[in-house]
Chain A
Amino acid sequence: MQAQERAYDLLLVEDDLGDAGLVKIALRRGQFDVRLHHVKDGDDALAFLRDRESPRPHLVLLDLNLPGRSGHEVLEEIKSDAELKTIPVVVLSTSEAQRDVVKAYFLGANSFVSKPMDVEDFTNAIHVIETYWFRTIQLMD
């Protein structure tokens, strides 16, 4: 398949190594060739995105609960940057609080996904995200 022939760059912004590990496992088990770039806070994420040397990611997975600059701030920064705002950002958060969801969409998040408790559900959620953003959206190009 066309989708399987190419590789996708994915930037994961996540300070929790456990959750980052779960994402890695889910991606490894998925059907896409994904190059995972993992940063642990907002500053590193923005530095990566603005670095000419580093690849422009096809998707950003953003946790909200970050050390220092919060996920919402990072989201706002990305979506107010003319260069970066076309990169799709999926907020992946433990929070189910309505205010976090509303705020994320208000700041320009392309999607909001709560981290499921169960590992199988978690893997499935990552696969749904991959499928949507790497296949469905790409087909529309």
Chain B
Amino acid sequence: MSVPFRSRLSTRVAFAASAVALFFVLLTGGGAWLVTRTLIAQQVNGLLQTEAILRAERVSDLLDGVIANFHALAANTVVANALVDSVGRETYLQPLLADVSQVNNLPAEAVVTDFQGRVLVASNPAVQVPAEWVAEAVAEGMVRARLETDASGPLLMVAEPVIYANTRSPEGALVWRLPLRQVVARSSSGRGAGIGELRVGGNDAQEHYHLPFGDILDEDRHPLVAEAPVMLTRLSLPFSMSVRVGVEQAFLDASLDRLRSFLLFIGAVATLLVVIVSLLVGRRLTRKLSRLTSAASSFSFAASDRRVFETKGDDEIAQLGGAFASMVERLDRAYHDLEGRSHTMLSNVVRDLQRSNEELEQFAYVASHDLRQPLRTVRSYITLVEQSLLGKLDPESTEFMDFIRSGVTRMDALITDLLAYSRVGRATQDAPVDIAEAVQMALRDLGAQIEESAAIISVASPLPVVQGDAGETTRLFQNLIGNALKYRGSSPLQIVISCQDRGLDWEFMVQDNGIGIPPEHAERIFGIFQRLHARDEYEGTGIGLAICRKMVERHGGHIWVEPTPGGGAAFHFTRPK
């Protein structure tokens, strides 16, 4: 017997386990996802921070180098002498300034001013110098820096006081400027993960310059940004300068996507494993149960061993199998007990039946022997008396003697019939009997009576083959047809023999148009020695129908009579198939 997949226990176990597994996978997967995402974000942040710092250091290294160069130049006597030697300015300083303007491959421009900030010599005449600011720096004797702008963008301008050797005081200034865009361009080689810019704050706090290292940093596109200030060792700047590095969200998303795929993969594999394992475990359980089920449904007490219920292990199913086995054993014991008892009862019944049969046989023997002997004596000696009194008896006495003789004859006939009745079903051999044949035999035996009564007998066909004794079946039809012949009326006799299929039984019918049977006697006529007519009207002992009933009932059928429309009788009897 197979259980539909949906309602199998293994399916349910697997389903429940999978649901639980899925819950935990989602829980731990979600947790891992959140934690790892944070970690990755932090890592990316750290990476950006490092990159920003590295870039800022590079920028400051470049700038420090430039500052150091110009500082050395400011201390050069050529510059200091130029403050006072107007001839020397043009001759020496001019070429010197032109040389240093390409310091560190950066296009710097340098100017030498007097203490009031007036330009004495310039590497490029176009350079504008804020004289007042330079004068202040000279007056203070401090290096000053400021942010300038031109068409190329922000520029770093530095004023370096020049010490005149004779007075040992600042008498002028070396002013230089450097386009920061060039600095950024120089330091943008060796690109990192992120996209960066140098942010330069102007004198004005709101004014910022963004100098990209490569691609332009857009804070909308690059939400992850790290910033590191550019720190100069030799110069403090009056404006802020820092490096900002950012990455696109996609950079993070790619990692997170990988992480997500990885987690989903692990979760799917874990869930799948749980499903498979729980299916296997469930199948293991249900296989044992199925085995028990099939063992129980095909168990036969005669052929099977109760060990079919025993299952390995000590789990509940094994206990169930054990319980089955012991139940079967108890049932088997009870069954055998019952069988033994019923056998005893049956053999008692059989013995009783045998005894009763033997008694019946004894009765038949006694009837045939012991009852007939005195009868013969009476009859014989009546004859002898008659012979010895021949001619001496008056007519009345002769009549009396006739009564005695006919009484004895009838008694003998009764005994013979009683014996025939008691012998029904004894010494018979049941075999398939062709009813058509049995009817023909009966008709042949009744040939003389049929001829005498000029009866028209019709036999329906086909007639079936039934189980029974051939001689007995013939006698049955012979009795019924014989009755029809005997109890005929004044009209020409017609007898119909037919059969109908009644499902479990065959129903036979012998129908005549004779004198019929009053309905009130319909049951009585089947009794032993029951007669409806005077002996001088119709002869017979009245045993025929009783014998018929015994023959019919011996095979589990029944016999009855119905009146026919023409006033005759229709005898019906059934015979189980």
Residues of A that sit less than 8 Å from B by CB: 16, 18-19, 21-22, 25, 64-65, 93-97, 115, 117-120, 122
Contacts and interface: CB of A to CB of B under 8 A. Distances in A.
B58 interface: no
Q: Is the interface of B mostly helix, strand, loop or mixed?
A: helix
Contact of A95 (B368, B384, B412): B368
Interface in B351-378: 365, 368-370, 372-377
5 smallest CB-CB distances across A and B, nearest first, come from: A18-B377, A119-B380, A119-B383, A95-B369, A94-B373
Contacts of A95: 365, 368-369
10 contacts: A19-B376, A22-B380, A93-B369, A94-B376, A95-B365, A117-B372, A117-B375, A117-B380, A118-B380, A122-B380
Contacts of B368: 94-97
Given A95-B368, A118-B380, A119-B379, 18 more contacts: A16-B373, A18-B374, A18-B377, A18-B380, A18-B381, A19-B373, A19-B376, A21-B381, A22-B380, A25-B384, A94-B368, A94-B369, A94-B372, A97-B368, A97-B369, A117-B372, A119-B381, A122-B380
Nearest to B408: A117
Given A18-B381, A97-B365, A115 B376 contact: yes
A120 B376 contact: no
A28 to B, nearest CB: 12
Interface of B: 365, 368-370, 372-377, 379-381, 383-384, 412
A117 B413 CA distance: 12
Contacts of B412: 117
A2 B383 CA distance: 34
A122 B370 CA distance: 18
Contacts of A119: 379-381, 383-384
A115 B373 CA distance: 9
Contacts of B370: 65
Nearest to A21: B381
B384 A117 contact: no
Contact of B376 (A25, A65, A117): A117
A91 B365 CA distance: 17
A41 to B, nearest CB: 16
Nearest to B373: A94
Contacts of A21: 381
A18 B301 CA distance: 68
Contacts of A120: 383
Given A97-B365, A97-B368, A65 B379 contact: no
A18 B383 CA distance: 13
Contacts of A97: 365, 368-369
Contacts of B372: 94, 117
Contacts of A65: 369-370, 373
B508 to A, nearest CB: 31
A119 B296 CA distance: 79
A65 B374 CA distance: 13
A13 to B, nearest CB: 15
A18 to B, nearest CB: 3
Contacts of B374: 18
A24 to B, nearest CB: 12
A63 to B, nearest CB: 9
Contacts of A19: 373, 376-377
Given A25-B384, A97-B365, A118 B379 contact: yes
A65 B377 CA distance: 15
A97 B368 CA distance: 8
A97 B380 CA distance: 22
Nearest to A123: B380
A68 B555 CA distance: 41
A118 B383 contact: yes
Nearest to B379: A117
A95 B384 CA distance: 23
A119 B383 CA distance: 7
A97 B377 CA distance: 20
Contacts of B379: 117-119
A49 to B, nearest CB: 25
A5 to B, nearest CB: 30
Contacts of B365: 95, 97
A120 B382 CA distance: 12
Contact of B377 (A16, A25, A93): A16
A29 to B, nearest CB: 11
B409 to A, nearest CB: 8
A95 B371 CA distance: 10
A46 B318 CA distance: 82
A27 to B, nearest CB: 15
Task: Output the residue of A65, A119, A120 with the most chain B CB within 10 A.
Answer: A119
A122 B373 CA distance: 13
B372 to A, nearest CB: 5
Task: Output the residue of B365, B375, B376, B379 with the most chain A CB within 10 A.
Answer: B376
B415 to A, nearest CB: 11
A108 B375 CA distance: 29
Nearest to B364: A97
A93 B370 CA distance: 11
Nearest to A17: B377
A94 B379 CA distance: 14
A65 B376 CA distance: 15
A119 B380 CA distance: 5
A96 B412 CA distance: 14
A18 B376 CA distance: 9
A115 B381 CA distance: 14
Contacts of B381: 18, 21, 119
A115 B374 CA distance: 12
A19 B368 CA distance: 16
Nearest to B409: A117
Contacts of B380: 18, 22, 117-119, 122
Nearest to A116: B376
A104 to B, nearest CB: 13
